[in-house]
Structure 1
Amino acid sequence: MQFNFGTDSQVLAVRDLTETKAAQRQIEHLARHDGLTGLPNRTLLQERLEHALALSKRTGEPLALLALDLDRFKAINDIFGHGEGDRILERVAFMLKRCVRGADTVARMGGDEFVILQVGSAQPDGARVLAHRILEIFREEMNPAMDPTAVGISIGVAVFPQDGADAAALHHAADIALYRAKTSGRGVAAFFDAQMDLEARQRRQLESDLRHAITRNQLYLVYQPLVTTVDGKVSGYEALLRWTHPDRGEVPPDEFIPIAEDTGAILPIGDWVLRRACREAALWVEPLTLAVNISAVQFQVATLEETVTSALMDAGLAPDRLELEITETALMKDRDQTIRVLHALKERGVRVVMDDFGTGYSSLSNLQSFPFDKIKIDRSFIQTMEDDEAARSIIRAIVGIGKSLALPVVAEGVETDTQRRMVQEEGCPQAQGFFYGFPGAGPASSAQLSASQANSGLIAGRVASHAGP
Structure 2
Amino acid sequence: MFLPGLRRLIGLYAVRENDPVLATAQFQALARQILMLYAFLGLNAVGLAYAHYGLAPDWVVIGPPFVLVLAVGGRSLSWIRAARRPLQGRQAFAQLRMVNRFTVILGLSASLWASLLYGRGDSASDMHVIFFLTITMMFCMQCLAHLRSAAHILTTIAVPYCLYFIAFGEPMVQMAVVSYVLVLIGSTAMQSFAYRDFCHLVDLTAENGRLALTDMLTGLPNRRAFTARLEEAVAQAAATGGRFGVGMIDLDGFKPVNDSLGHGAGDAVLREVARRLEAAGLGWVARLGGDEFGLIVEGEADLEAIGGQVCALLRQPYLLREGSAQIGASVGFARFPEAAAGAETLVDRADFALYHAKTCRRGSAVCFAPAHEAALRRDAAIEQALRRADLAREFHLLYQPIVDAVSGRVEAYEALARWQSPTLGAVSPADFIPVAERSGLIRDLTRAMLGQALDTMRRWPADRRLSFNLSAHDIAAPESVDGLTAIVVASGIDPGRIVFEVTESGLMRDLGDANRALASLKALGVKIALDDFGTGYFSLSYLQRLPVDRLKIDRSFVTRLTEDATSLAIVRSILDLCRHLDLDCVVEGIETADQMLLLRSVGCRMMQGYLFHRPMPADAIPAFEAAAAEPTRWPGPCSEAA
Q: Give TM-score, length-normalised by structure 2.
A: 0.60
Aligned to 1:289, which of 465, 470, 480? Answer: 465
Q: Are residues 224 and 148 of structure 1, via their aligned partners in 2, closer, same or farther at CA, if it must alter by over 3 Å?
A: farther
Say if 2:23 is the partner of 1:23.
no
CA-CA distance at 1:379 after TM superposition: 2.3
Aligned twin of 1:63: 244
Q: Secondary structure at the match of 1:190?
A: strand
Say if 2:360 is the partner of 1:154.
no
Aligned to 1:219, which of 395, 409, 413? Answer: 395
Aligned twin of 2:12: none
Q: Secondary structure at the match of 1:384?
A: coil
> Structure 1: how far apart are the matches of 2:536 and 2:307?
28
> Structure 2: how far apart are the matches of 1:54 and 1:235?
62
Larger Rg: 2
Q: Are residues 170 and 91 of structure 1, via their aligned partners in 2, closer, same or farther at CA, if it must alter by over 3 Å?
A: same
Aligned twin of 1:201: 377
Q: Kindly provide the amino acid, as one letter, of the partner of residue 419 in structure 2.
A: W
Show CA shifts across 1:165-200 (max 9, x none). Answer: 343443344334334333432333333334433321
> Structure 1: how far apart are the matches of 2:315 and 2:448?
43
Aligned twin of 2:114: none
Q: Secondary structure at the match of 2:551?
A: strand
> Structure 2: how far apart are the matches of 1:71 and 1:224?
32
Q: Secondary structure at the match of 1:158?
A: strand
Q: Give TM-score, length-normalised by structure 1.
A: 0.80
Say if 2:234 is the partner of 1:33.
no
Q: Kindly provide the amino acid, as one letter, of the partner of residue 38 in structure 1.
A: G
Q: Are residues 190 and 266 of structure 1, via their aligned partners in 2, closer, same or farther at CA, if it must alter by over 3 Å?
A: same
Q: Are the counterparts in 2 of residues 408 and 429 from structure 1 also a CA contact under 8 Å?
A: no
CA-CA distance at 1:366 after TM superposition: 3.5
Aligned twin of 2:313: 137
> Which segments of 5 or more consecutive residues in structure 2 lack a partner in the other structure?
1-161, 167-173, 626-642
Q: Are residues 81 and 249 of structure 1, via their aligned partners in 2, closer, same or farther at CA, if it must alter by over 3 Å?
A: farther
Q: Kindly provide the amino acid, as one letter, of the partner of residue 39 in structure 1.
A: L
> Structure 1: how far apart are the matches of 2:330 and 2:624?
53
> Structure 2: how far apart are the matches of 1:258 and 1:150?
24
Q: Secondary structure at the match of 1:237?
A: strand
Q: Secondary structure at the match of 1:367?
A: helix
Which stretch shows the higher mean deviation, 227-236 or 12-21? 12-21
> Structure 2: how far apart are the matches of 1:150 and 1:345?
36
> Which segments of 5 or more consecutive residues in structure 1 lack a partner in the other structure?
450-469
Q: Are residues 99 and 238 of structure 1, via their aligned partners in 2, closer, same or farther at CA, if it must alter by over 3 Å?
A: same
Q: How does 1:423-434 map to 2 (within 5 A)?
A: 423-434=599-610
The structure richer in helix per residue is: 2
Which stretch shows the higher mean deviation, 170-179 or 220-229? 170-179
Aligned to 1:341, which of 499, 520, 524? Answer: 520
Show CA shifts across 1:205-264 (max 9, x none). Answer: 211222343446111111111111213332221111111122433222122112222222
Q: Are residues 61 and 421 of structure 1, via their aligned partners in 2, closer, same or farther at CA, if it must alter by over 3 Å?
A: same
Show CA shifts across 1:59-90 (max 9, x none). Answer: 44433322333334456556655433332322
> Structure 2: how far apart are the matches of 1:242 and 1:443?
15
Q: Are the counterparts in 2 of residues 282 and 316 from structure 1 also a CA contact under 8 Å?
A: no
Q: Are residues 424 and 410 of structure 1, via their aligned partners in 2, closer, same or farther at CA, if it must alter by over 3 Å?
A: same
Q: How does 1:188-337 map to 2 (within 5 A)?
A: 188-215=364-391, 217-285=393-461, 287-303=463-479, 307-308=483-484, 310-312=486-488, 314-328=490-504, 329-330=506-507, 332-334=511-513, 337=516
Runs of 4+ in 1 over 6 A off after TM superposition: 1-4, 6-9, 445-449
Q: Are the counterparts in 2 of residues 223 and 240 from structure 1 also a CA contact under 8 Å?
A: yes
Aligned twin of 2:275: 94
Q: Kindly provide the amino acid, as one letter, of the partner of residue 333 in structure 2.
A: G
CA-CA distance at 1:127 after TM superposition: 3.0
Aligned to 2:357, which of 177, 181, 185? Answer: 181
> Structure 2: how far apart are the matches of 1:59 and 1:340?
58
Q: Which has the higher contact order (CA 8 A, sep 6+)?
A: 1
Q: Kindly provide the amino acid, as one letter, of the partner of residue 328 in structure 2.
A: V
Aligned to 2:287, which of 94, 108, 117? Answer: 108
> Structure 2: how far apart are the matches of 1:148 and 1:414?
36
Q: Are residues 38 and 213 of structure 1, via their aligned partners in 2, closer, same or farther at CA, if it must alter by over 3 Å?
A: same
CA-CA distance at 1:438 after TM superposition: 0.8
Q: What RMSD, in angstroms, separates the aligned Cα atoms of the two structures?
A: 3.5
Aligned to 2:346, which of 163, 170, 177? Answer: 170
Q: Are residues 93 and 256 of structure 1, via their aligned partners in 2, closer, same or farther at CA, if it must alter by over 3 Å?
A: same
Q: Kindly provide the amino acid, as one letter, of the partner of residue 318 in structure 1.
A: D
Show CA shifts across 1:330-351 (max 9, x none). Answer: 47142562354134122xxx33
How many residues align? The count is 437
CA-CA distance at 1:430 after TM superposition: 1.0
Q: Are residues 83 and 288 of structure 1, via their aligned partners in 2, closer, same or farther at CA, if it must alter by over 3 Å?
A: same
> Structure 1: how far apart are the matches of 2:272 and 2:617?
52
Q: Kindly provide the amino acid, as one letter, of the partner of residue 138 in structure 1.
A: L
Q: Are residues 445 and 306 of structure 1, via their aligned partners in 2, closer, same or farther at CA, if it must alter by over 3 Å?
A: farther
